[in-house]
Homo-oligomer: A and B are copies of this chain.
């Protein structure tokens, strides 16, 4: 039979009507004379009452948790006193109850939710996905994708699919390889992103492209990484950075408005990479709370406190972060965080009635008034210091700032969502291990024209890229750039990172050719869709917004993938397992 509707669609107008519902038995209570079933479908649960003597009763006696049933009967209001909010106001008095399928006893109680070990949940993912919280995440995800595609379709973007079996792309992570049978000894790579292909589509004149694109990186997994992940990937021609940011702001406002009924600001706040690092010690600062660093470098130039004075003399910075009252134990914990992030320690002092006490207070007597006025620190509060080479100093204090957020739930007082652009990333960065110049985003990112003069000089670290990240609640949820469209600039960029002509041609030859056949100015962005949906839904991990995720060994515990294959399959591919 056809159901009257989903459970959530039950309204007062159905009262007294004959209603058919279908779903799973969430719970059964047998009161001897009466049987109550809590019936669940994807949209909600409602109580079903089965009276003795009804044709439904014998069947109802047999049902167990997670049986699939169809019930038919009269919908009524529950007796006063038992009546609850929403769907709890109704009950269905079943005249007919049909078992559509039986169910073995589930290996865990769905209600137990996240208290069940994640391994068990992943092994029986199909049961885990029956939890209403999980369904809500996927409903939200589906709505996000629908809102994105609807908006971009209207804005003239073409949804184009790019190859999955392709060649190494320029992100520089490790590729997943796919052996070719028709070309034995050769391999495809799964795409790390559609980067080159979307730029080729701009060269083809498609003008506006988007794709919900699956991407693959064979990295060692962390809790918020998956071997494959999903990007909203888009690219536009004949535009500059402001056009791209503006379009993305309108798109995100549309998504948040239509999916969550949340109003994002217009325009989004923008920080440069330098500002973000200098004030928050992160290129993806969580701005739901302020806690910006105060610069006190000038106060310690030639000061008697040698640790800080030396840092300043060496061209470094001294930054201070105002924090709530901290116990000694909390300070130790924060110092551990600072050290994990490259600091040698965490200098601190406490504001007391007379001035400062504890920590380094006796070394900063001379700076007392300035510290008080610049930080506005209140009695009982703590000041935390970081001194040294600028980037190291701000990064360590940035990590402390996030640890403080988690310790005091600082973000809870702020808005539910804070979104911002971080712009003007450096074009080039030194590899921390080799000291060699490398690209910060990817080698096709365009520099600021005004900074091109620094290419090939000692100062090429000063070149700012026309690159931007989208930061939501401290997560990088998107990143993009204006691309290089001038082959001469592309050549200088390859030179700057020490790629010989031959190396560049070997990796990207076909793309460098393409650039010379009439490339329009263009740029774009990729959103990390999994992470965006995770933040929007309030989930704690991207695994909660991916239907069938891998664990942190890259394994699908349900399907048991990866797995061994037959010798004949390898032989077809011209491959053998190494026996070491």
Give residues in A with beta carbon < 8 Å to B.
2-3, 6, 22-24, 40-42, 66-68, 70, 100-104, 106, 124-127, 129-130, 135, 138-139, 141-142, 145-146, 149-150, 153, 156, 158-167, 174-183, 185-190, 196-197, 200-201, 203-207, 212, 214, 216, 218, 220-221, 227-228, 230, 238, 243, 485-486, 510, 514, 516-521, 546-548, 550, 553-556, 558-565, 569, 571-578
Q: A200 near B516 (CB under 8 angstroms)?
A: no
Closest B residue, CB atoms, query A123:
B510
21 A–B contacts, CB within 8 A, in A order: A22-B520, A24-B518, A66-B517, A100-B485, A100-B521, A101-B520, A102-B518, A126-B200, A126-B517, A127-B517, A141-B160, A160-B547, A162-B547, A163-B228, A182-B553, A186-B565, A187-B563, A197-B547, A201-B547, A212-B212, A576-B577
Q: B204 near A167 (CB under 8 angstroms)?
A: no
Q: A177 near B24 (CB under 8 angstroms)?
A: no
Q: A203-B126, A510-B560, A547-B197 are in contact. Are A165 and B228 (CB under 8 A)?
A: yes
Taking CB atoms, residues of chain B closer than 8 Å to A3 are 238
Taking CB atoms, residues of chain B closer than 8 Å to A203 are 126
Contact among B124, B150, B183 for A150, CB-based, below 8 A: B150
Taking CB atoms, residues of chain B closer than 8 Å to A577 are 185, 574-576
Q: A561 near B165 (CB under 8 angstroms)?
A: yes
Given A104-B516, A178-B190, 16 more A-B residue pairs with CB atoms under 8 Å apart are: A23-B205, A101-B485, A101-B486, A101-B520, A129-B205, A135-B204, A142-B153, A167-B561, A177-B178, A177-B573, A178-B178, A182-B553, A182-B554, A188-B562, A201-B547, A574-B577
Closest B residue, CB atoms, query A547:
B160
Q: What CA separation (Å) do A573 and B556 show in the bound complex?
A: 18
Taking CB atoms, residues of chain B closer than 8 Å to A569 are 175, 177
Q: B564 near A185 (CB under 8 angstroms)?
A: yes
Q: What CA separation (Å) do A550 and B162 show in the bound complex?
A: 12
Looking at the assembled complex, report how far the CB atom of A338 sits from the nearest CB atom of chain B, in whole angstroms: 32
Taking CB atoms, residues of chain B closer than 8 Å to A42 are 205-207
Q: A161-B230, A559-B166 are in contact. Are A135 and B575 (CB under 8 A)?
A: no
Q: What CA separation (Å) do A218 and B165 show in the bound complex?
A: 11
Q: What CA separation (Å) do A159 and B572 show in the bound complex?
A: 36
Taking CB atoms, residues of chain B closer than 8 Å to A520 are 22, 68, 100-101
Looking at the assembled complex, report how far the CB atom of A163 sits from the nearest CB atom of chain B, in whole angstroms: 5
Taking CB atoms, residues of chain B closer than 8 Å to A578 are 571, 574-576
Q: What CA separation (Å) do A182 and B220 show in the bound complex?
A: 8
Q: B553 near A163 (CB under 8 angstroms)?
A: no
Looking at the assembled complex, report how far the CB atom of A155 sits from the nearest CB atom of chain B, in whole angstroms: 12
Q: B166 near A138 (CB under 8 angstroms)?
A: no
Q: What CA separation (Å) do A183 and B565 show in the bound complex?
A: 13
Looking at the assembled complex, report how far the CB atom of A128 sits from the nearest CB atom of chain B, in whole angstroms: 8
Q: A67 near B101 (CB under 8 angstroms)?
A: no
Q: Which of A67, A127, A175 has the most CB of B within 10 A?
A: A127
Q: What CA separation (Å) do A183 and B564 show in the bound complex?
A: 10
Q: Which of A101, A187, A486, A559 has the most CB of B within 10 A?
A: A559
Taking CB atoms, residues of chain B closer than 8 Å to A563 are 167, 186-187
